[in-house]
Structure 1
Amino acid sequence: MSTYSGHFRVWRGDADGGELKDYEVEVHDGEVVLDIIHRLQATQAGDLAVRWNCKAGKCGSCSAEVNGRPRLMCMTRMSVFSREETVTVTPMRTFPVVRDLVTDVSFNYQKALEVPSFVPPKGVAPGEYRMFQEDVERSQEFRKCIECFLCQDTCHVVRDHEENKKAFAGPRFLMRVAELDMHPLDAAEESGLDRKRSAQEDHGLGYCNITKCCTEVCPEHIKITDNALIPLKERAVDRKYDPLVWLGDKIRRRSGS
């Protein structure tokens, strides 16, 4: 097994500020960036803060930015960089820094709470749900999400505009709205909840300009833009500008129903 001395720049600091610090760390064949961060902790920077758990690309904990690109450190192989290249590791830029590579991602959990959950159909007990296989497969793609929040981090709507965070749920949670809206058993409309309208008015769907940056960084290769956000936009537009829907809403308002 060959080894070499790798050049790394790691962001060190907290909410009050910080800076990039240079390190020389031993690199072995087959290792990933998280291995190097662990070795750095063990040999040179015992107080380096980093969040991780499974080291298998399934928990989403070790999200960071490697050479400016949002990635899972445990799934970023050192072999993609040349031996002479300086590898820069920084915390996710969109979220407040807690310390070093650890960020405060509570924004995402707040947005999750704002998405109304699945509404089961009346008169159908759990275990009696029946769906076509194609509907199962369509929503199954979105359930692969490991909530690493890399899509949230790279979305420029909140990455470059802090003021948008109150009005914009971000791709991960707009994908959740889309999943529920296309679910054939979701009875939200019967309870008075229009998910398409809510996507626009409550979750900021209109802010998304489908640049596909969220799809590009997804470690689960979910087609967030093509299979969730664009179809949701199309359904929302159809709902808003359909003349029959407009007429029905107007009649209901006049009758007070």
Structure 2
Amino acid sequence: MTYQGQFRVWRGDQDGGELQDYTVEVNEGEVVLDIIHRLQATQAPDLAVRWNCKAGKCGSCSAEVNGRPRLLCMTRMSTFTETDLITVTPLRAFPVEKDLVTDVSFNYTKAREVPSFTPPADLRPGEYRMQQIDVERSQEFRKCIECFLCQNTCHVVRDHDENKPAFAGPRYLMRIAELDMHPLDVADRRDAAQDEFGLGYCNITKCCTEVCPEHIKITDNALIPMKERVADRKYDPLVWLGNKLFRR
């Protein structure tokens, strides 16, 4: 089945832009990225879009479709009707470079700020030992493809650009939580999560979980448990006393 679909695509750069309407052929089985490629080939050869694998595993083609953060290569045209007007816009939380391409360097800056895995000083390579349950606990978080949809939809970043210096966003708070769960990691993740990476800014609306293409339960399995561990460290009187007595 083939039909002429109605699309509204944002065109512009750092200096501004606007939504432009296009009529593009749609074929059975296609995804939004197919339509963007056809639009490039037939009507707008200068349209900029970032993509790579077209298999939902590289995270490159992140954009917003009808206002919802999505991977263009995983958004099937069959989810829309032939009469729908489909709007494709760049990620709103990050500066536009050109058309659908945004500058996501904020995320790489935050990634470099997170201290790497820190084993005990007296533990040599080859001596690492972990229980299978410890491996499984954090395995979910390693499915992240760094599409940054969670970063984009988090209203702490999306609606308040001034929060970016103090807030790492759900993707990197999840990374901190993963390392904190590691039985061989000795870095102080909990105080850093709160004081340096803005864990307290998160009010667990679960919007990050809702847009994750890998279906990682970011809020329930990473952010909420991390908040609980931070609260125990700071406010539980018995934990506070134990920290004073044993200098943990």
Same fold judged by TM-score > 0.5?
yes
Written as runs of structure 1 = structure 2, the 5 A alignment for 1:154-233 is 154-188=153-187, 194-233=188-227
Q: Which moved more, 1:23-32 or 1:118-127?
A: 118-127
Which AA in structure 2 matches 1:169? A
> Residue by residue, what CA displacement relative to the aligned partner does 1:31-75 show, whole Å, maximum 9, x if unpaired?
000000000000000000000000000000000000000000000
Match of residue 16 from structure 2: 17
Q: For residues 55 and 180 of structure 1, what CA distance do their matches in structure 2 show? A: 30
Q: For residues 145 and 168 of structure 2, what CA distance do their matches in structure 1 show? A: 17
What SS does the corresponding residue of 2:127 show, helix, strand or coil? coil
What SS does the corresponding residue of 1:143 show, helix, strand or coil? helix
Which AA in structure 2 matches 1:173? Y
User: How far is 1:249 from its partner?
Assistant: 5.6
Q: Which moved more, 1:115-124 or 1:40-49?
A: 115-124
Match of residue 71 from structure 2: 72
Match of residue 26 from structure 1: 25
Q: For residues 27 and 245 of structure 2, what CA distance do their matches in structure 1 show? A: 71
What SS does the corresponding residue of 1:26 show, helix, strand or coil? strand
How large is the Cα RMSD of the aligned pairs?
Answer: 1.4
User: How far is 1:125 from its partner?
Assistant: 2.9
Q: For residues 110 and 118 of structure 1, what CA distance do their matches in structure 2 show? A: 17
Match of residue 102 from structure 1: 101
Q: For residues 99 and 240 of structure 1, what CA distance do their matches in structure 2 show? A: 45
Q: For residues 23 and 59 of structure 2, what CA distance do their matches in structure 1 show? A: 27
Which AA in structure 2 matches 1:18? G
What SS does the corresponding residue of 2:186 show, helix, strand or coil? coil
User: How far is 1:208 from its partner?
Assistant: 0.3
Q: For residues 197 and 246 of structure 2, what CA distance do their matches in structure 1 show? A: 25
User: How far is 1:124 from its partner?
Assistant: 2.9
Identity of aligned residues (%): 81
> How many pairs are equivalent?
247
Structure 1 residues 32 and 205: alpha-carbon distance in aligned structure 2, compared to 1, 3 A threshold? same
Q: Which moved more, 1:66-75 or 1:111-120?
A: 111-120
User: Which residues of structure 1 form unaligned runs of 5+?
Assistant: 189-193
Q: For residues 85 and 123 of structure 1, what CA distance do their matches in structure 2 show? A: 62
> Residue by residue, what CA displacement relative to the aligned partner does 1:160-198 show, whole Å, maximum 9, x if unpaired?
01111111000000000000001011122xxxxx21111
Match of residue 149 from structure 1: 148
What SS does the corresponding residue of 2:143 show, helix, strand or coil? coil
Which AA in structure 1 matches 2:177? A
Q: For residues 233 and 29 of structure 1, what CA distance do their matches in structure 2 show? A: 46
User: How far is 1:128 from its partner?
Assistant: 2.9
Q: Which moved more, 1:104-113 or 1:118-127?
A: 118-127
Match of residue 191 from structure 1: none
